[in-house]
Amino acid sequence: MARMKFLCDADRCIDCNACVTACKNENEVPWGINRRRVVTINDGKPGERSVSMACMHCTDPPCASVCPVNCIFPTEDGVVLHNKDQCIGCGYCFYACPFGAPQYPQVGNFGSRGKMDKCTYCAGGGGPEAPGSAAEFAKYGSNRFGDGKLPLCAEMCSTKSLLAGDGDIIAQIYGERVRKRGYGSGAWGWTTAYHDDVEV
Amino acid sequence: MLIRKSDRRRGSAKPVLAEANRPGGGLDRRTFLKRSGIAAGALAALGELALNGVRKAEAGPPAAPGAPVATRKNICTHCSVGCSVIAKVSNGVWIGQEPDYDSPINRGSHCCKGAAVRDDVLSERRLRYPVKLVNGQWMRISWETAINEIGDKLMEIRQNAGPDSVYWLGSAKFTNEAAYLNRKLAAFWGTNNSDHQARICHSTTVTGVANTWGYGAMTNSYNDIRNARTILLMGGNPAEAHPVSLQHILEGKELNRANMIVVDPRMTRTAAHATEYVRVRPGTHIATIYGMLWHIFENGWEDKEFLSQRVYGVDEIRKAAAKWNPKEVERVTGLPEAQVKHIAELFAKQKPATLIWAMGQTQFTTGTANVRASCLLLLATGNVGMPGAGANIFRGHTNVQGATDLGLDVTTLPLYYGLAEGAWRHWCRVWEVDYEWMKSRFPSKTLMETPGIPSTRWFDATLLPKDQISQPNPVQAMFVMGHGVNTITRMPEAVRGIEKLELLVVCDPYPTAWSVLSERKNGTYLLPACTSFEMEGSRTASNRSLQWGEKIVEPVFESKNDYDLMYMLARKLGFAEAMFKNIKVEYGAVSAEDILREINRGGWSTGYCGQSPERLKAHMRNQAKFDLVTLRAPKDDPEVGGDYYGLPWPCWGTPEFRHPGTPLLYNNNLSVKDGGGSFRARFGVERVVKRKVMENGQEVEREEHDNLLAEGSYSVGSDIKDGYPEFTLGVLKKLGWDKELTPQEMEIIRRVNSADPDKVSWSLDLSGGIQRVAIEHGCSPYGNGKARMIAWNLPDPIPVYREPIYTPRPDLVADYPTLPDAKQFRVPNIGFSVQKSAVDRGISKQFPLILSSGRLVEYEGGGEETRSNKWLAELKQYMYVEINPADAAQRGIKDGGWVWVTGAENSSRTRVKAMVTERVGKGVAWMPFHFAGFFEGDDLRAKYPRGADPIVLGESVNTLTTYGYDPATGMQEPKATLCQIRAA
Amino acid sequence: MVMTFLARFRLATFVLALLAIAAAAPVFAQKVNPDGAPNPTASVTSQRELLQQVPRITGRIDIPDTKASVLIQPAGRTWDYFHQVLLRRGGAIVILGTVLLLAIGYLILGRLRISAGRSGQKVVRFKAFERFAHWLTAASFIILGLTGLNITFGKAALLPIVGPDTFAAISQVAKYVHNFTSFAFVAGLVLITVIFFKDNLLEKVDIDWLKQGGGFIKNRHAPAGRFNFGEKIVFWLSISAGIAVSASGFLLLFPFYGTDILGMQLAQMVHAVVAILFVALILAHIYIGTVGMEGAFEAMGTGEVDLNWAKEHHDQWIAKKLAGENGRGEPTATPAE
C-alpha cells in the first residue's frame, strides 16, 4: 500500500521558497499562515543547509495522539488530515509536532487561536465536506490528491529537492542520488517522523 | 538520475493534467506513480500504489461546478531562465497553476516568484485606471484624455526643445514584440534616447563579449551546464536570482561529480552548494582573473591549439598576466596564492569548464573589462564553443535578452545593426518607410547616428547645464514603460531630476517608485499596463531560446497591453499609419504575430529571421519532445523535427529554411545547419599593427598584417577548410556559389543595393538567400574569424585592473586609477575626479564599510510587482542590511535591530533593519535592491494612488549608491561603494 | 501505546533536553576542512549527527514567526509520550488512587465524630468574606478541574458517550470556561493567601500535633491553633500548587510570549502534573471537610462551628479566641438557646 511521505534533499534545497508560495497559491493560504517554510541552518557558514519543512505526515502522528478531541487522523495513505469543525484550537498539536507544522489564524491569547491549519498534502480536508467542493477548498484548500496529483510544493520545487509520493519510491530516488553524487546530509526528519531512515 | 528521453516522455504529466480538467476526473494510479518520479526529476517505476484513505476530488475546487477549465501556457516574467507557466482558467479567471513537466527548461519547477505569478494578475494592488497628478492629488482620467494630454505635451516639448528631450525608457519585461515596437516608436519619434534595464544589467556583457567573439550573449544554455566538469561562478548568485537554473547546475554537478567553485564577496545560497567557496573583495575581478591566468601560463595549462587556431592576441595577454604575480594578486584581492592556483588548475584542466556570471561582474566602472577578462580565461583554456563549456551569462529579466536584441539600447537599432546610415537604411527598407523621411524626424543626421543617453544618466541629462550635454536641450520628459527608478544609482539626484521634468509618464501594472519619490505636484501620468500574462508574444530566455506566451486572461481592470498602448500613442503623435504599415491592427488591437513577422523580415544579423510565430507555437505544443540536455527534438518529428527548443538565435534564413537554431554559439563540432558555427569574423580580415622588431641588430618599426580569420579551424561540413570572411554577394561570386541563389533572391538582393549589389551582405540581404547558400556549403554566414583578446576599439583594449570609484583601498588608487574624465554618451563622465576627490578627502575613513547590493529570491527588479504579490511579500517584510558579526559588535548592532546606513555622497542615509550574518565578510555590508517606498527615513505610503501601494515598502539601497560609470556602456557601479552603519 | 525501549530512550533525551536550556543557540555541526577554508559540500551537515548534538535543530527564517525557526524538535514526540502515556496513566492512578484511599480511610475510620458531642454553642470560625474567598477559589477550582480533566481524559471518558461533534462543542466551551475561570481562581488564591497567611505560619504547637499523629493514631485530639498542621500543609501545598498552575497556565494562555517551544512544553507539563496532584490534594481536603469529619463543613458553610468541635480540633485557637473576647470585656460564649 502506498505510504505518502515528504523528503527534502537538503543538498539540493536552495531556499528559493517555491514550495512556500506554491502552497499559498494552490491552497489560497492566508497571510500569516505558513503551512510550509524553509529553514536555513548554519546560515552564511560552511555547512549551510536549507530545509523545506511542513507537516511530514508522520507515522503515529503525535499531533493526532495528543489532540484532545481526536480531530486529527491519518488516512490509509498515511496522509494526516484533520477536521476543522471539531478543532478547539488548544494548540497541543503544535507542542507535540516535531516539525512546527500546525498553524493558527490568530496569535492565540486566551486560547483564541482559532482552528488549526496545516499542510493537507494537497488532499483536501478531514471534515464532512464533499471532496473537491468549494466548501472543502475554503476550509482546507486544494484536493489535488483526489485528482491523482501530488502536493504542488513538491511538484514545483526548483531543484527537485523536495520529493513527495510513496515513501519507498522517494527513498529510493534519494538513495540513488546520494550514491551517485557521493554525499548526503540525510533525509531530514525521517527518523523522527517515520521511525525510519533512508539507508544509503 | 538523468532522465532518459524515452522515459520522460512516457512519464509525461499530460494525461494527469487532462484528467484534472475533467470534472470527476478518475485516478490513474500508474500516472500518479510516475508523477512522484517526475517531481523528483527521476523515474523509479516500482511497486503498486494504492490510494485508499483519501477521497477522490470531484472537480478542481475553485472552479464553479461544471464550468470548463482551460489551460494556457505562458512564460514566467521574473527572470531569464524562461520557465513555462501553466495556468488554469475558468470563466475568464485564473484559478490555479500547474507544473509544466514538458518544458525542457524548467520541467515543472518554479522558484517562489514563478510559483506565485498568479497573484501578479490577481493582485489587489494593481493600478486600476489611468491617473494624473493634479496639485499633488491623484485624479482618475480616461485613456483618451491621458493619451491626448500626454501627446500634446510631448509635441510641445518636441516643438520647443527637440525630440531628444523626450526619453523613452523601455523594459526588459516587454515581449520581444513590444520591445521592438518601443524601439521603433523612439525611431519614428526621432531620438536614440531609448534604453531599458540591460543598461544596468548586462550592457557591459553585451559590449565586452560581443567585442571578443561576435555576439554578446550566453554562449551555451542552462541545460548545457549539465555537461560541465568544472562550474565556476564569479559574480553571480543564481540560487537567488535564477533558482531554476540550479536544477541544471546541481544535477550536472552531481552527475559528473563536477567542481563547483563560487567566487563571491558573499557566502551566498549558491556558495552553500559549492565544492569550493572563495571570498573575494568586491571589484577585484580583473586582478583575480589575471592571477589565474598567471598560473595557467606559468604552468602551460593553456589550450595552445585553440589559441593558435581561433584566438587573436594572446601574446599581449601573456605580457599583461605576467605582471600579476601571486604576491600582487594577494595584495589587491586578498586571495592567497594556493587558492588562486587551485581554481586556475581546475578550470584549465578539468574540462569542459564553464564560467557563469551575472551582475557581480557587470555592475562596475570596469564592467566591460571585467567580462572581457572572463572571456580571456575561457579562451586561454579553450573552453568556448563546446558542450559543458562557454560563457554562461545569466541575464536578469524574462526578456532582457530579447529586449537587448531588439535594440532597446542607446547605441543601436534592433538586432545590433548599430546607428550608422547603413543600419537606418536597412530598417527603413524593412519598415517600408523613406529614409529621408526618417532622417527628417531627427534634428540632424549626426544626432541620428549618435548614441543616446544611457538610462543610468537620465537625471544628469535632466539636471546638468545645457552646455554640458551634447544634444540640443536637456531631457524634459520621461516616458517610462516598465522600469523602476529605484534600480538606478544615486537616487537623491534622481529625485531632483524627477522634480525638474516637464512631463513624467509611467506605464506599468503598478505605480512604481517614480510616482512617490519626488515632491512633484503636476505633470505626472500613470497608465496601467497589463502584465505579459495578459497578452501574447514571444520572450527570449537567457539561452537565446524564444518562447511564445499565450494570453492567459484579458487585461485586468482598465489596463492595456503594451502594443495597444503604443499604437494609441503613435496615432496621437501622427505616425501610426507608417509605423504599423505591415502590422495588423483590428479595433485598436495590435497583432503580436505580425510584429514578430516583421522582426523576422529584418533580423538577419542575429538570426532572428527563422523564428516565425507558427514555429514558436509549434514548439510550445511539442515541448515534451525536446531533449533535456541537448534541447533538440528528434529529427523525424513532423512539426519540430530536428529543432532546438525555442529556436535559439541565430536561427538562420527564412522560417521556411527551417534552420534548427543554435544551442551553443561557436561550436564547430556541429555543422552550421545543425546549429554549429565558428567565431564571428566581425572585426575585419586583418589588423594592421605597427610593431618594433629587431632587424639586422637594429630596431625598426614595421607594419604587420595580423590575420583575424581562423586558421585551420572550421565547423563540421564546411566547404571552406579554413577561416573566411563574412558573406556578401561579392564573396559568393568569388566562390562561384552565387549561381545557387534563386532569381527571386537575386532580385531582392539587387533591390537592397541597386548601385553595388556585390556589397549586400548576409545581414542586409532581405531574401535570406546569402545565408541559405552559405549554410548549404556548411559555412557560417558571418564568417569564420578569431576571437579577439585585444579589442582595440574599447577604452581598455585589454582588461586593465582599476579600483572602484569609492574604494576601501585608497592606497591602490595610485597604481590602479580609473580612466580619465571624458564625455561619453552625450554626458560627461567625471569618474576620475570623483575617485581622486574621495581619496583626497579620506572618504574611506568616514565610510569604512564596502557596500554591495544584489538580489533576493522573493523579489525582482525595483520590486513593485513582487512586493505587491501577497504570497511573496509575506516572505520578506523588511528592508535590511547584512553586516558581519564583527562589524556589528563594534557598533553595538543587534540582529533585527534598526540601523542607519549612510552613504558617501549626497549625505544620503537609509533606515533599515540589521541582519547580522557571516554571509558577508568583515568590512563588507550588503543590501538587496528591490525596495522602495521609504526615502531617508520617511514613509511614502500615503503618496501612492489609493489602494495601489505595494504591501511591503522599504528604503532603496540606491539612495546610498554612488557615482561611477563604465566608459564603454554607461553602466553604473552599485556593487562596490562605501558606507557607514550605526544603530538607530 | 506501549512504552517501547525507544520511547524510554526518547524520554531520557527529553529530560536532557530540559536541562539544555540554551538549546536555542544556532547549530554548529558542520565539519570544517583542515585548512580552515570553507568547503561547503565537503562539510556536509548530517542531520543525524546534528540531532545527537542538539535537542532541536534551529536556523534562520525570514518570516516574522520566530517559532518557525525551529526545524525539527524530536522532543515533540516525547512530549506526546508524556501527555498520552505518563500523564494519563499517572493522572488516573493518582486521582483514582486518592479516591480509593479516602474510601478505605472512611471504611476504617468512619466519620470522625465530635467526641464530646455537640455543645449547642456556636463560635464564629470564618467570617463571610473569608468564606467568600474560599468558595470563590473552590468553585473555580472545581470548574477548572473538570474542564481541565476533560482535555486529558475527555476523549476516553466522554467522547464515546456523546459522540465527536457534541464532544468537540463541549470541549470548545470547556476550553474558554477554563481559560476565563482561571482569573477567578487566581483572585481567590490571592485572597486566601492574604487572609489566611498569618494563621498558617508554622508554630511550636504544630510539632506537638505531629507528635500526636494529628490525633489519628492515638485517637485523641492533638493540639492546634486556628489551623492545625494538617490544614497548614493543605494551605501551603494549595498555595504552591496554585501559583504553579497559575503561572504555567498563564504561559499557556499567552503562547510564545517570552518563551519558546521548550518553554511551552514545560509549562504544559508543570500545569498538568501539578494540577493532577492538586486535584488529589483537594479531594482529600473535601473529604475531611465533609464526610470525613463531623462539624467541619459548618466552618465554611455557615461560618460557625460548635464549641466542642473547636475545643477538640483547635484548642489553642478557641482558648485564645475566648480569652481575647474576655479581655475585651465581652461576655463569654453564650449558649445557643
The predicted-structure confidence for B131-171, as pLDDT tens digits, reads as follows 999 999 999 999 999 999 999 999 999 999 999 999 999 99
What is the chain B residue with the closest CA to C40?
A: B272
Classify residue B540 as left (phi > 0), alpha (psi -120 to 50) or beta.
Answer: beta
Rounded to whole angstroms, the Cα distance separating B176 from B592 reads 9
Taking each helix axis as running N to C, give the angle between helix B367-380 and helix B285-299, from 0 to 180 degrees, rounded to the nearest 10: 20
Of B16, B50, B99, the CB nearest to A156: B99
Minimum mean pLDDT among A45-59, B103-117, B558-572, C39-53: which range?
C39-53
The stretch B612-638 carries a mean pLDDT of 96
Mind listing the pLDDT tens digit for each residue in A102-117? 999 887 777 788 899 9
**pLDDT under 50: residue ranges of chain C:** 1-3, 5, 16-38, 329-337
B872/A147 Cβ within 8 A = no
Is the Cα torsion angle B565, B570, B576, B579 positive or negative in sign? negative
Does residue A56 carry a pLDDT above 60? yes
Number of CB atoms found within 10 A of residue C232's CB = 21
Minimum mean pLDDT among A173-187, B181-195, B566-580: which range?
A173-187
Domain that holds residue A66: 4-194
- The angle subtended at Cα B236 by Cα B231 and Cα B242, nearest 5°, is 90
pLDDT of residue C10: 52
C30/A100 Cβ within 8 A = no
Structure-block grid coordinates of residue B42: 527521476
Q: Which of A14, A34, A42, A97 to mutate to test the interface with C (most CBs of C within 10 A)?
A: A42
Mind listing the pLDDT tens digit for each residue in C42-95? 556 788 888 888 889 999 998 998 899 999 999 999 999 999 999 999 999 999
B875/C62 Cβ within 8 A = yes
Q: Partners for B (CB, 8 Å, 3+ pairs)? A: A, C
Asked if A132 contacts B61 with a C-beta cutoff of 8 angstroms, the reply is yes
State what percent of residues in chain B have pLDDT above 70.
94
- ipTM of the complex model: 0.96
DSSP string spanning B47-78?
S-----SSPPPSS-TTSPTT---EEEEEE-SS
What is the chain B residue with the closest CA to A1?
A: B50
The interface residues of chain A toward chain B in range 56-85, judged by CB-CB distance below 8 A, are 74-79, 81
Rounded to whole angstroms, the Cα distance separating C90 from C88 reads 5
Does residue B715 carry a pLDDT above 80? yes
Question: Could you tell me the residue ranges of all domains in chain C?
Answer: 5-75, 76-327
Structure-block grid coordinates of residue B797: 583594449
What is the chain C residue with the closest CA to A32?
A: C65
Closest Cα of chain B to A123: distance in Å?
7
A74/B53 Cβ within 8 A = yes
Partners of C24 on chain B (C-beta within 8 Å) are none
Number of CB atoms found within 10 A of residue B744's CB = 10
Mind listing the pLDDT tens digit for each residue in A9-36? 999 999 999 999 999 999 999 999 999 9
The stretch B363-385 carries a mean pLDDT of 96
Per-chain mean pLDDT for chain B: 92
What is the chain C residue with the closest CA to B879?
A: C62
Rounded to whole angstroms, the Cα distance separating C170 from C174 reads 6
Contacts of C163 (CB under 8 A, 6+ apart): none
Rounded to whole angstroms, the Cα distance separating B582 from B578 reads 9
Q: In this structure, what are the phi and psi dihedrals at residue A104, rounded to the nearest 5 degrees?
A: -130, 145
Does residue A94 carry a pLDDT above 50? yes
Taking each helix axis as running N to C, give the angle between helix B743-752 and helix B769-776, from 0 to 180 degrees, rounded to the nearest 10: 130
Closest Cα of chain B to A112: distance in Å?
23
Structure-block grid coordinates of residue C73: 524538535
Does residue B22 carry a pLDDT above 50? no
Does residue B44 carry a pLDDT above 50? no
pLDDT of residue C200: 87
Q: In this structure, what are the phi and psi dihedrals at residue B741, rounded to the nearest 5 degrees?
A: -70, 140
Q: Partners for A (CB, 8 Å, 3+ pairs)? A: B, C
A188/C47 Cβ within 8 A = yes
Structure-block grid coordinates of residue B760: 549586400
- Which of B764, B169, B751 lies closest to B417 in space, CA to CA? B764
Rounded to whole angstroms, the Cα distance separating B834 from B512 reads 31
pLDDT of residue C3: 43
Domains of chain B with CATH codes: 1-59 (no CATH), 131-198+400-610 (3.40.50.740), 203-393 (3.40.228.10), 679-784 (no CATH), 810-983 (2.40.40.20)
Q: The whole model's pTM is what?
A: 0.91
- Which of A171, C149, A176 lies closest to B3 in space, CA to CA? A176
String of b and e for A159-174 (b: at least 16 CB within 10 Å)?
Answer: bbbbbbbbbbbbbbbb
- Which of B396, B398, B402 lies closest to B181 in space, CA to CA? B402
Asked if B966 contacts B976 with a C-beta cutoff of 8 angstroms, the reply is no
Rounded to whole angstroms, the Cα distance separating C244 from C247 reads 5
The stretch B19-35 carries a mean pLDDT of 43
Rounded to whole angstroms, the Cα distance separating C177 from B651 reads 75
Asked if B220 contacts B394 with a C-beta cutoff of 8 angstroms, the reply is no
* Residue A200 resides in a domain: no
The DSSP call for residue C87 is I
Helix (H, G, I), strand (E, B) or coil at B339: helix
Q: In this structure, what are the phi and psi dihedrals at residue B851, rounded to the nearest 5 degrees?
A: -110, 125
The stretch B763-776 carries a mean pLDDT of 96
Rounded to whole angstroms, the Cα distance separating B29 from B49 reads 6
* Residue A31 resides in a domain: yes
B53/A44 Cβ within 8 A = no
A38/C61 Cβ within 8 A = yes
Asked if B684 contacts B696 with a C-beta cutoff of 8 angstroms, the reply is no
The total of structural domains in chain A comes to 1
Amino acid identity, residue A28? E
B50/A1 Cβ within 8 A = yes
Per-chain mean pLDDT for chain A: 92
- Which of B542, B544, B1 lies closest to B250 in space, CA to CA? B1
pLDDT of residue B100: 95
pLDDT of residue B13: 32
C63/B275 Cβ within 8 A = no
pLDDT of residue B331: 95
Partners of C41 on chain B (C-beta within 8 Å) are 260, 273-275
pLDDT of residue B643: 97
Contacts of B285 (CB under 8 A, 6+ apart): B234, B235, B360, B361, B364, B366, B370, B373, B374
Is the Cα torsion angle B103, B107, B111, B112 positive or negative in sign? positive
Rounded to whole angstroms, the Cα distance separating B168 from B183 reads 8
State what percent of residues in chain B have pLDDT above 90.
90
Report the CATH number at residue A106.
3.30.70.20
Rounded to whole angstroms, the Cα distance separating B804 from C266 reads 55
The interface residues of chain A toward chain B in range 142-181, judged by CB-CB distance below 8 A, are 142-150, 152, 154-160, 163-166, 168-170, 172-173, 176-177, 180-181
Does residue B14 carry a pLDDT above 50? no
Q: Please state, in angstroms and as integers, the Cα–Cα distance from residue A130 to each residue in B28, B29, B54, C310, following that order.
A: 21, 22, 12, 69
Mind listing the pLDDT tens digit for each residue in B326-360? 999 999 999 999 999 999 999 999 999 999 999 99
A14/B269 Cβ within 8 A = yes
Query: Strand pairing of B849-854 and B924-928?
Result: parallel
pLDDT of residue C120: 84
* Residue A71 resides in a domain: yes
Structure-block grid coordinates of residue B930: 528591490
The stretch B70-93 carries a mean pLDDT of 94
The stretch B73-84 carries a mean pLDDT of 95
Q: Partners for C (CB, 8 Å, 3+ pairs)? A: A, B
The stretch B264-274 carries a mean pLDDT of 94
pLDDT of residue B914: 97
pLDDT of residue B941: 96
CATH 1.20.950.20 fits C76-327, yes or no: yes
The interface residues of chain B toward chain C in range 908-937, judged by CB-CB distance below 8 A, are 917
